[in-house]
């Protein structure tokens, strides 16, 4: 049986199967985006699909903390839009 990788939500610190989490990526060029495939190159931050965790991740500068740099408001808004669409689809 193949082992399923585990990842930790950066907000609630609960462990989940990697495929059950939302992944936000910062690639080499510095672009930050929601990775729907879970396979994009770059540093990833994982958030569980609970609305409370997604809200806290986007509203409390966790993007900046996760990637250790300043993130423009437009980028945060774009990631918020992508994550909210994904969370609504999972309901």
pLDDT one-digit tens code per residue, 21-69: 999 999 999 999 999 988 999 999 999 988 899 889 988 888 899 999 9
Whole-number pLDDT of residue 91: 60
Please give the pLDDT value at position 90.
66
Pick the residue with more confidence: 13 or 86? 13
* pLDDT at residue 85, as a whole number: 83
Rounded to whole angstroms, the Cα distance separating 34 from 83 reads 7
**CA 32 – CA 24 distance, rounded (Å):** 7
Is the pLDDT assigned to residue 87 strictly greater than 80? Answer: no
């Amino acid at each position: 049986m193949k082992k399923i990788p585990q990842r930790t939500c950066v907000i609630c610190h609960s462990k989940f199967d990697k495929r059950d989490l939302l992944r936000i990526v910062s690639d080499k060029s510095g672009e930050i985006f929601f990775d729907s495939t879970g396979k994009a190159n770059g540093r990833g931050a994982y958030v569980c699909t609970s609305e409370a965790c997604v809200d806290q991740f986007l509203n409390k500068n966790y993007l900046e903390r996760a990637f250790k740099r300043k993130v423009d408001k437009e980028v945060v808004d774009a990631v918020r839009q992508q994550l909210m669409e994904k969370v609504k689809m999972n309901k």
